[in-house]
Structure 1
Amino acid sequence: MKTLFACLGTLAAGILLGVPGASAAGVEAVDQDYVKAHAGRTGVVLADVRSPEVYGGLSPRAGIPGGHIPGAINFPLADLDRPDASEALARAGLTRDAEIIVYCNTGRQSARFIDRLVGSFGFDPSRVKNYTGSMTDWSRNPENPIETGTAKP
C-alpha cells in the first residue's frame, strides 16, 4: 500500500510541476525513434501544440529552434479553449480513430494538451502518445530535418 501511495504522489507531483511525460491521462511516452517510425503513416497525426509563430520558425528561447518536425500539423494548446474546439480538432485531423503523437518544446505543453484531449474531449489514452523529448530532443540530432513556414490551411 505504501508503494501505491508513493507512486500516486510522484505522479501527482510530476503533473503539478509539469514534468515532461507526466500525464494524468496515463498515455504512453514515446521517443524520437518512435516518432520517426510512425510519423507519416496512414492514420497517424503528428501534432505540434506550440504557437503558430514558433511552429513557423520563431525560436521560443535559446537552445530550442523554431520550426517543426516535417509532416506535423499545428494545433496550439490555447486553441482547446475555443468554443468550436471539437470541430477544430476534427478539421485538423485530430480524431478519435487516429493515433496522435503530440509534441512541443520539452514535453510539458504536450502533456497538458493530452490531458485535455483525454479528460475534456473523450479521446482514448491508448491512441494518444506524448513525445516527451519534443523539439529539444529532435533538434539535438543535426540529421533531423526541421521545417519552417506556416501551417497549410
Structure 2
Amino acid sequence: MSAFPLVSAQWLKGRLDDPNTIVLDATFHLPTMKRDAFTEFQAERIPGARFFDVDGIKDTGNPLPHMIPSPEIFAEHAGRLGISKDSHVVCYDTYGLFSAARPWWMFRLFGHDAVSVLDGGLPAWKAAGMPVATDPPGRFDGTTYQADFRPGLVRRVEEVMQNLNDPKEVVLDARPTDRFDGSTPEPRPEVRGGHIPGSLNLPFNQLTDPDTKKVRDVRALADLFRDAGIKVGRDKVVASCGSGVTACALVLGLHLLGDETAAVYDGSWSEWGTRADTPIDNPSA
C-alpha cells in the first residue's frame, strides 16, 4: 500500500481514531541546540503520537551520527512502536520540516510505502487549531514487524567516491550555502568545511514557506530543483547534508515531483568531512 507523501492537518485529524494510522513525532535537534526532543514530546504532541528517536534508531556500532541500522534492528524498533505492515505511518516534527522526512525515508528504505509526512508539522497543526495533548503519553501494544531492505535508496561513502571518477549520479547537498561553500565553519569542530567535488547545493529550508512551514507547491519545487542544476526525471540524484537528516527533505521534494528513485548518502558531511581520503572543494579556503 502506497500513501501520499504529504498529508494535511485536516486529513490527519479525521484519522486520529483509526488504529491503522500511527503518528510519529520524529523531532530531532542538532547537538548545538541543547534541547531534548523526547522531553518536549512528553510535554506537548499530537494526540496519540509516539516518539521516533532519530538519534536512537541507528547502527549503534558506527561512530557516525544516526547511521541506518540493519533491517532486523529497524524492524525491532518499528515493532516496539506498534507499527505493522498494515499501518499508515505519519511523521512530523516541531520545526515544520527538518527531521520528519528522515523516518519517512527510512520506512521506504525498509520496504514500507504507507508512510507520509504531515505538511507543516506541529506548527501547521497548531495554526489550524487542532488539538494538542499535554498529558503523559499513553501505552500501546507492540507488534512483530518485517523489514524489506531496498539498497537502491541509500549510498555508502565508497559508492560516492566511485562516482567522482565515473559520474553517473548528481550529489545534491541540503546544507546552507555558507556551509556548502566553506565560508562558515561546520557545527562539528572536527569536520572540515566545503563540499563534495562536483556536488550541487539546495538548502533544505528553501522547500518550505517560512511563515506556514508547509512545503511549497510543485511548480515552486520544480523551479527550485531546476535552479539548483537538477534535471528532475533525468538526473539520478543522491542527497547529502550534515548527517543524513535534512537530505531526506530533498528526497521528499523530488518524490513530490515524481522521482521516487533519489537516494541518500547516509554518512553525509559528518563522514566525508572527517576522512583523510575524501577530496573536498572549498571555495573559501
TM-score category (smaller protein): 0.7 to 0.9
Give the C-alpha shift of residue 149 in structure 1: 2.1
In the other structure, the counterpart of 1:106 is 243
TM-score normalized with structure 2 length: 0.43
Structure 2: any 5+ residue segments left out of the alignment?
1-74, 110-152, 210-215
Number of equivalent positions:
144
Correspondence 1:74 to 2:201: yes
Write the deviation string for residues 117-143 of structure 1: whole angstroms up to 9, x where unpaired: 213xx23222x1100100111123212
Q: 1:130 aligns to what SS in structure 2? A: strand
Rate the CA distance shift 1:15–1:64 in 2: closer, same or farther, 3 A: farther
Task: Find the aligned partners of 1:144 and 1:20 in 2 and give their Cα distance.
Answer: 27
Give the C-alpha shift of residue 114 in structure 1: 1.2
Q: 2:274 aligns to what SS in structure 1? A: coil
In the other structure, the counterpart of 1:23 is 104
Correspondence 1:148 to 2:230: no
* RMSD over aligned Cα atoms: 3.4
**Greater Rg by CA:** 2
Q: 2:158 aligns to what SS in structure 1? A: helix
**Could you tell me whether the CA contact under 8 Å between 2:175 and 2:203 is conserved in 1?**
yes
Q: 1:125 aligns to what SS in structure 2? A: coil
Correspondence 1:124 to 2:259: yes
In the other structure, the counterpart of 2:177 is 52
User: Amino acid of the residue matched to residue 242 of structure 2?
Assistant: N
User: Amino acid of the residue matched to residue 149 of structure 1?
Assistant: P
Task: Find the aligned partners of 2:82 and 2:160 in 1 and give their Cα distance.
Answer: 28
Structure 1: any 5+ residue segments left out of the alignment?
none
Give the C-alpha shift of residue 49 in structure 1: 0.9
Correspondence 1:139 to 2:220: no
In the other structure, the counterpart of 2:221 is 85
User: Amino acid of the residue matched to residue 238 of structure 2?
Assistant: I
Task: Find the aligned partners of 1:55 and 1:106 in 2 and give their Cα distance.
Answer: 13
Rate the CA distance shift 1:40–1:13 in 2: closer, same or farther, 3 A: farther
Rate the CA distance shift 1:21–1:29 in 2: closer, same or farther, 3 A: farther
In the other structure, the counterpart of 1:35 is 160
Could you tell which deviates more after superposition, 37-46 or 27-36?
Answer: 37-46
Identical columns (%) = 18
Give the C-alpha shift of residue 36 in structure 1: 1.3
TM-score normalized with structure 1 length: 0.75
Write the deviation string for residues 48-77 of structure 1: whole angstroms up to 9, x where unpaired: 110110001122312332210111111111
Task: Find the aligned partners of 2:227 and 2:196 in 1 and give their Cα distance.
Answer: 20
Give the C-alpha shift of residue 9 in structure 1: 3.6
